[in-house]
Chain A
Amino acid sequence: MKGKIIAVIIAIALIVFVAKSAKVIDKGTEGQYTGVVAFDAGASSQSDWDKISSQITGSAQEISALNLNELGAGKAVKFRGVVNEFSSKANGKKKSITVTPENYSGNAQFIVQLGSIYTGTSIRDVQTVKGFGDFTNQTEWSQYAKALNSQLDKEVVAPLNIDENIKGKNITITGTATSSGNQVTITPVAIVIE
């Protein structure tokens, strides 16, 4: 009997001790204690954008001087040309223009993506500010590509409010290019409409 009472007292003392000494951590602040911070592709892409944009602008080559079959995962390009067509699909979420670059005489079709949704990962793959090794896994690396595309929409394309009135205008584009068959897809990092 005596033993039981002692056991109960010890148990109560333990419970009180644990309850008093354990610290309740608010949801979302775990990282401050564990050092493991949830990955935020958006924040990462926002702080990197200026560097990436100037890196691509700085290394861009005239598109008419490139072998379009050797663009691979993407190359930084620039060109001036006339807008032939404006297209809007998926309720305006997939806008694009086709442009004929100056000094280009081949039969490739040049499509410039105007968002708000962008396909491909060429911005991520051309820049060297961050690499796969800076991320925990494939999914974060993939999210980073998407976040960069959203960032360019916010910073570069959306403010221009481009619509079909752009047809026939002269335009200067800097961005990244990939090719498939005879179609070259450009993701812009800078657009100047004349």
Chain B
Amino acid sequence: MKKFFVAALSVLIVMSLAFSASAAGIMYIITPSTSNPFFGTEQRVGAAKVRALGYEPKCFSHDDDAAKQLELFEAAIADKAVAIICDNAGADASIEAIKKANAANIPVFLIDREINESGLAIVQIVADNAQGAAAIAEKWVEAMDYKGEYAELLGRESDTNCQVRSQNYHSVIDEYPDFKMVAQQTANWDQTEAYSKTEAILQAHPEIKGIISGNDTMACGAAQACIDAKRPDIKIIGLDGSDDAAGYIAKGQMVGTALQQIAKITEMAIEQADEYIRTGKKPATEKQLVPCIAITKDNVANLSQFVYTEK
């Protein structure tokens, strides 16, 4: 009997040793709501990468609520997480949570969205929205044959990305004197709102030839409105690289989008977190920009779930 206990105990010890060797610690992945597939990709790709590097992933959504985000950071601290990978809930509102993690010696790696302070997170890796907007606008001016009347659907006007994308669309389009913007309205990043705004714009300005949109969700709403209004001639662009947009692009119902390489960004953050945990070395630069890829019907087949694979 005694022998049995000793044997059982030693099996337990060996098992627990093996377990602690296989998990080099817990990494938290905290993102906005995964009802948006973009953020779903962050958690899906992130969890796989974390596991591949020998850590245990724990994924949560803060639903763009800074208070909830703070609770999740506190949970990570209580869990003695080795790192937090976060797509944050606000450029100012997130600073408190990150400072708390730092006080508990937990390094924070930010993806997708920047915060308004440097020196707190180890890295801030974001998609180059300015370059992406300009790159797809270049495809659009070509598709428009460098002239014509058009409308713009803006995102939520208080968001930095709304301004960055719009400015950079215009940095390309406004160079050509034969373009004329006849309507510019916000649809708050929303598909349904974009649909109804597009319907109204098509009635008020039937002469338009194109629509530029601050994201894919709105671009898809606009594309559907144009299909329903029997206006297949309208040239539409968006930005994000969603599978919905890819569907419209493949059918020629949208000119294109710019893919924010969120899978690549997430993997980069986790690789740099692993490097930091193992060696204590910080990456050379905190703010890192990952270029967007312009997607048109020529390369849309390479796009799936925010991952671009050259075939």
Contact = CB atoms under 8 A, between A and B. Distances in A.
Interface of A: 73, 89-91, 93-94, 117, 119-121, 132-133, 137-139, 141-143, 145-146, 180-181
A74 B134 CA distance: 16
B134 A142 contact: yes
Contacts of B298: 180-181
B181 interface: no
Query: Which 10 interchain pairs have the tightest Cβ spacing?
Result: A90-B146, A142-B130, A138-B130, A119-B138, A117-B175, A139-B130, A132-B289, A142-B168, A90-B176, A139-B164
Contacts of A132: 285, 287, 289
Given A73-B291, A121-B134, A132-B287, A138 B129 contact: yes
Secondary structure at chain B's binding surface: helix, strand, loop or mixed? mixed
29 contacts: A73-B291, A89-B145, A89-B146, A90-B147, A91-B177, A93-B175, A119-B138, A120-B138, A121-B131, A121-B134, A132-B285, A132-B287, A132-B289, A133-B285, A138-B126, A138-B128, A138-B164, A139-B164, A141-B128, A141-B130, A141-B131, A141-B289, A142-B134, A142-B171, A143-B171, A145-B131, A145-B134, A146-B171, A180-B298
Given A90-B176, A138-B126, 5 more contacts: A93-B146, A93-B175, A138-B130, A138-B289, A139-B164
Secondary structure at chain A's binding surface: helix, strand, loop or mixed? mixed
Interface residues of B, number: 26
B131 A133 contact: no
A121 B291 CA distance: 11
Interface string B176-206: 1110000000000000000000000000000
A23 to B, nearest CB: 30
Interface in B262-311: 285, 287, 289, 291, 298-299
B102 interface: no
